[in-house]
Amino acid sequence: MTENISINAHSSIRIEGDAVVYIDPFKIAGAPHDADLILFTHSHFDHFSPEDAALLSRPGTLYAAPRSMESDLRKAGFPQERTTLLRPGESVTLCGIPVEAVPAYNTNKPMHPRKNGWLGYILTVTGQRVYVAGDTDRIPKEKSIRCDVALVPAGGTYTMTAAEAAAFVNAIRPAAAVPTHYGSIVGTPEDGQAFARAVDPAIQVVLKI
């Protein structure tokens, strides 16, 4: 269920299916230039790295980001005609992939305020709904999130801790869950192990970091 998903570091995610999709590319090795679609969740440097996106981009690559990032994208030179700006709750189909924008924000810390309109995404890839949470805490509408696979931050400090991320996953009930956002900028490998121990055994946990 998660064989087509990889994490090269932190929250830098690659999904291969009907198209090659990257979310928040960061610390990319080499220059594969294989991205059909690149999504950004928010403007922090470890999620919005134009230099890493350039290593993946090719002629025709499409981009999507929160509407509040319009000036960031413009300053970085992303082509306006191939960039889609989204607000929480909006949906679009890009490269044949349905993309739903989901709110991502902190509820008990100030780093990711709700007013910024930053995002997570639900992508339908090869028939599976894959939820990439972005930098978020547990949010009031969490149970409205329907997905087969959930990638959720578990490193604490700026996002959920491993225990909070596990509780989040246990509430939304995907078939499989992958912890992210630890072991590099913040958190340690133990966060992934702690997450795995706390998730309901009925949900498959796959560690990609």
> Is the Cβ–Cβ distance between 157 and 183 less than 8 Å?
no
Mind listing the domains of the chain with CATH numbers? Answer: 5-205 (3.60.15.10)
Judged by DSSP in three states, 74 sits in: helix
Chain segment 114-130, per-residue pLDDT in tens: 999 999 999 999 999 99
Chain segment 132-170, per-residue pLDDT in tens: 999 999 998 888 999 999 999 999 999 999 999 999 999
Is the pTM above the cut of 0.85? yes
Spatial distance between the Cα atoms of 88 and 69, rounded to a whole number of angstroms: 13
